[in-house]
A and B are shown apart, each in its own frame.
Chain A
Amino acid sequence: MYGALWRALPGPWWLRLLLVLILVAAVLAALVLWVFPWADHFVTPQEVTVEQQ
């Protein structure tokens, strides 16, 4: 999969590396900005109050 991506990228190796780094940065940004805050809602305990049960 990643091998195929590497081969699909154009240009010499350093240009491919640059493109890969940009792609990785974009994916990381998307994770931190949107995916993780959304997933956090399901994972961490949300109850911090005392309530009549």
Chain B
Amino acid sequence: MKQRRRVSVVGVIGELLITAGVVVLLFLGWQVWLGNLISGNAQAEEAQALSQAWDREAPAEPAEPAEPAAPVGPGDPIVQPAPENAVAFANLIVPRLGADYTRPVAEGVNADVLRTKIGHYPGTQTPGGVGNAAFAAHRTGNGSPFYDIEKMQIGDSIYFEMEAGWYKYVVRSLEYVHASGVGVLDPVPQSPGIAATDRVLTLTSCNPVFTADERIIVYSLYDTWFPRSGGAPPEIAALAQASAAS
């Protein structure tokens, strides 16, 4: 007969404390890795579903019989108005953040929108428009769409996929501001009262990573656009094919 050990109060408290410590460590692992993996995948799937829906509405036309392609730009981009709050209307595709990086973008920057998507600042331009199109997303938790945003380099491409096609921006500079630095949303960033002539893209997130003391800002300039009928831009064609196939 085994001797039956008495359950002591101190023993129970000790085991509870050890359990709490393990749970906290698990939480940290979930927060920086597993949780982001799960919600990041969910966001990528949502972006691919959007992309497929747009493809169904406007299937790519077969290429015209080979005319020597004159180096003519596609003209001014179609600018779609922003939808109602929380409605997804674009995908953000950033090759620097991963070969398969695509995330859905919705109207609004309140907590509910940002929990699952990249948010578009209401009242700012939409992709392709003259002026400043501004977006915000999380850097910790919630899928962390902008976790690596400080790795963006001058000249990097940023694409918006929308119903009408793909809008290409090229990164021009990074800036760090306080949380009250609303000047980054000006039509010409940090220049209140100046009328816009350029098409600017502004991305905001928290900085330093894991804190909210400052904001990191990535400015980009509009480069060109690719109408949906002409197919995806070469740089992200592989990603577009993958979402069409899945």
Contact = CB atoms under 8 A, between A and B. Distances in A.
Interface of A: 1-4, 7, 28, 31-32, 36-37, 39-40, 43-53
Contacts of B11: 1
A28 B4 CA distance: 30
Interface residues of B, number: 41
Contacts of B31: 36, 40, 43-44
Nearest to B177: A50
A13 to B, nearest CB: 13
Given A3-B7, A45-B210, A51 B140 contact: no
Given A1-B11, A1-B15, A49 B5 contact: no
Contacts of B136: 48-49
Contacts, number: 84
A7 B141 CA distance: 40
Contacts of A32: 30, 34-35
Contacts of A3: 5, 7
B179 A1 contact: no
5 contacts: A32-B34, A44-B138, A45-B210, A49-B109, A50-B204
Interface stretch (B76-84, B85-93, B94-102, B180-188): B180-188
B205 interface: yes
